[in-house]
Amino acid sequence: MEGMPNAATPTHCPYCALQCGMNLTAAADGTVEVSERTDFPVNRGALCGKGRTAPEVLSSRVRLTSPLVRSADGTLVAAGWDEALDRIAAHLSRVRDTYGPDALGVFGGGGLTNEKAYALGKFARVVLGTSQIDYNGRFCMSSAAAAGTKAFGLDRGLPFPLEDIPRTGCVILVGSNLAETMPPSLRFFRELRENGGTLIVVDPRRTRTAEQADLHLAPRPGTDLALALGLLHLVVAEGRVDEEYVRERTSGWEEARAAAMAHWPEQVERLTGVSVPDLREAVRMFCAPEAAMVLTARGPEQQSKGTDTVGAWINLCLATGRAGRPLSGYGCLTGQGNGQGGREHGQKADQLPGYRKLTDPAARRHVAEVWGVDPDSLPGPGRSAYELLDALGTDVRSLLLMGSNPVVSAPRAAHVEERLRSLDFLAVCDVVLSETAELADVVLPVTQWAEESGTTTSLEGRVLLRRRALPPPDGVRSDLEVLHALADRLGVEKGFPVDPEEVFEELRRASAGGPADYSGITYRRLAEENGVFWPCPAPVSSATSVMSATLGTPVTPATPAASAAPVTPATPATPAASATPAASVSAALPDVHPGTPRLFLDRFATDDGRARFVAVSHRPAAEETDEEYPVLLTTGRVVAQYQSGAQTRRVEELNAAAPGPFVELHPRLAARLGAAEGDPLAVVSRRGRAVAPARITAGIRPDTVFMPFHWPGEGRANTLTNPALDPTSRMPEFKVCAVRLETVGGR
Ligand code: SF4
């Protein structure tokens, strides 16, 4: 899988979940050029500025190329790998011996490849024996995952490929600003409208995405749930329910219907600020065509009622017969590069590889067998991401962190920073000295996307191969090498290979029979087929079969030899073959399963095959406005920066385009404050204060301000955000909290 010098290596972008295809060409002097890769159907060669400039981070002068250790005078100084690894292993051992394994925490990231996420989860549970592992993807998509699992019995971001979007009739895009987060994806929506379809965008701001909509609904932050209920009320009142579909393919309708009918449109208008005529128009647009979709992103998900909010949008799909039908359905637009795969293979506090539940005895037995350990030795579920960060320095004394920068990206960030400082020991693997790495006792410099092979799973559930295009710089090692070396020092000599393909072969076996079944996928297939959609089970044979924990379907674990078997090109899955994981497995498919681009067409992945309505009601955000904090804050992203900005803030072009945070506010609010464009404004919440220049626009509600969260320091938006958690998903409420604004500097 090695890239050839001076030959273009087809691979994928390191950033968001669109995972755009690109070609990389490494020159002898170490520079790397990006060129168009038109064979990847999602972006067909198009890249946003982040993807186009991604190679700059490979050769950045601030790139770490030597481990750093905290010296006696408190500074970080260069050290050898053995010294750094010995120091980490010694601390982990000491803390475990003194306080027990759950005093050791592990924090991963949604940008880690499937192999790394898998190895990190195994390392935590097998080597450290701790239950205290979670990752930053908890902040990203967990509410949609929880709601999708409740309704459909399975969570895969999009249950259909993006290419279905232009052929549907209407899309409601809820809380997503794709024009800034995934610009190449906009073409699907442009084509939708060119084909006569309509786009409805739900967002408190008139974003660049909302500007392209046929109808823009701008609810007050924290009221998306009420909005969805109001729409469902009108669907019922106007006789637009698909009664036959509801009867044949769902359960729980009466309760959900009663909950929606308790939310009158006029009441919804008062709660959300969206007028009744606009509600009616949205219902008309959504129900008129034969097929339609609802796609959610962080807006409705990052709330203390995110699971119910997404559930309400799913209910709207179900009542109108829009799920599990061609060109229709509900989908979540996952954000991080491997946000989907990152939640499937074991770095999540409650899950084992293959998207299995950690509490399921059959799942524990299966994975323990693959790992060669006693199932009873596997710890149970641990704390969710924010709860884990909040426990640092108390119950959790020591933390190993990979692929995350919570000092910038976690809610109530000043508190999280203080918790990180209070640890007995912090080890961080990163490519640059991020704000979190600055606090570490040991920092390990690791390889980047283009310097190693690995797989990711895009927002479509398409497993992709990132290929190595160039060797890493001297002094840098891969995360897999780090885990191998630490496991070895902690007495586990086997089971942590450094070759990504070898790790993937084990992941295939561990995932076999699980909801996210990768057992039929090989590196070779990924290279030849441009990705494979899961579930993709290995063919059933007379060999020992494993009973699927979730679906009750016999599946044969893949064998390492399968990767060397002849591969036939995949054919598009027929609706019957792609209907459900269970159907896919049992339909006696040929030697190679084609993968499953479209889910649920015949049945849902629930026990009875029916989708489940979940009765939900509106409730206020955890923090509402009052006299002291009269304005709502919502946070989000800008096109030139990615997540905590650890990489993109170090790219000159991106930094010039988006050099720092800002406070977006309506002219009426600005006038009340006496603030002009560019004036520094302090935004104060119950958790702290952030200062950034005013950006005045009529495209935001007058009761709301917006801040992007990519920066540390004085303008750090997450200093302000509320860590109130959704009771099911444990997702913090990034999208709404109460603040007051103050002018700075005597104005
Ligand atoms: Fe594509 Fe996302 Fe990378 Fe931009 S950041 S090039 S949209 S994968």
What domains does the chain contain, in order, with CATH numbers?
A: 9-58 (2.20.25.90), 68-140+338-506 (3.40.50.740), 142-332 (3.40.228.10), 631-743 (2.40.40.20)
For residue 676, give Cα distances in angstroms to 474, 673, 681, 702, 703. Answer: 50, 9, 10, 15, 17
Q: How far is the CA of 22 from the centre of ligand 1 (A)?
A: 10
For residue 240, how far is the Cα from the chain centroid? 34
Mean pLDDT of 311-320: 98
695: left (phi over 0), alpha (psi -120 to 50) or beta: beta
From the CB of 13, is ligand 1 less than 6 Å away? yes
| Per-residue pLDDT, 746 | 54
Reported as a single tens digit per residue, the pLDDT across 72-81 is 999 999 999 9
Backbone angles phi, psi at 42, to 5 degrees: -70, -50
| Per-residue pLDDT, 6 | 63
Yes or no: say if 332 and 140 are a contact pair by the CB < 8 Å rule: no
The position carrying tokens 């090498």 is 481
Per DSSP (E only), the strands in 97-241 are 104-108, 133-135, 170-174, 198-202, 215-217
Work out which ligand 1 atom sits closest to the CA atom of 13: 3
Q: Rg of the Cα trace of the chain? A: 25
Yes or no: say if 408 and 139 are a contact pair by the CB < 8 Å rule: no
Residue nearest to atom 7 of ligand 1 (CA): 182
d(CA 48, CA 177): 14
Q: For residue 51, is pLDDT > 70?
A: yes
Backbone angles phi, psi at 329, to 5 degrees: 145, 175
Work out which ligand 1 atom sits closest to the CA atom of 181: 7
Give the whole-number percent of the chain exceeding pLDDT 70.
Answer: 92
CA dihedral 111→117→119→121, nearest 10 degrees, is 140
Reported as a single tens digit per residue, the pLDDT across 427-446 is 999 999 999 999 999 999 99
| Per-residue pLDDT, 335 | 87
What tokens does 175 get? Answer: 């809380």
Yes or no: say if 595 and 570 are a contact pair by the CB < 8 Å rule: yes
Reported as a single tens digit per residue, the pLDDT across 5-41 is 468 999 999 999 999 999 999 988 878 999 999 999 9
Pairing state of beta strands 442-445 and 454-457? Answer: unpaired
Yes or no: say if 402 and 429 are a contact pair by the CB < 8 Å rule: yes
| Per-residue pLDDT, 559 | 32
Q: How far is the CA of 233 from the centre of ligand 1 (A)?
A: 38
DSSP lists the bridge partners of residue 442 as 69, 427
Average pLDDT, the chain: 91
d(CA 437, CA 446): 12
DSSP lists the bridge partners of residue 743 as 681
Q: How far is the CA of 48 from the centre of ligand 1 (A)?
A: 5
pLDDT band at 585 (very low <50, low <70, confident <90, very high): very low
Reported as a single tens digit per residue, the pLDDT across 657-696 is 999 999 999 999 999 999 999 999 999 999 999 999 999 9
CB atoms within 10 A of CB 28: 7
Work out which ligand 1 atom sits closest to the CA atom of 185: 7
Q: How far is the CA of 479 from the centre of ligand 1 (A)?
A: 23
Q: How far is the CA of 88 from the centre of ligand 1 (A)?
A: 35
Yes or no: say if 469 and 11 are a contact pair by the CB < 8 Å rule: yes
Give the dihedral sign, CA 434/439/445/447: negative
Q: Which of 23, 44, 48, 336 to mutate to test the pocket of ligand 1 (most atoms within 8 A of CB)?
A: 48
DSSP lists the bridge partners of residue 126 as none
From the CB of 184, is ligand 1 less than 6 Å away? yes
Q: What residue spans of 81-163 are helical by DSSP H? A: 81-99, 114-122, 142-152
For residue 632, give Cα distances in angstroms to 267, 513, 734. Answer: 20, 45, 11
Give the DSSP letter of residue 681: E
Q: Which of 11, 12, 15 to mutate to test the pocket of ligand 1 (most atoms within 8 A of CB)?
A: 15
Mean pLDDT of 377-388: 97
Reported as a single tens digit per residue, the pLDDT across 257-269 is 999 999 999 999 9
The position carrying tokens 């051992």 is 93
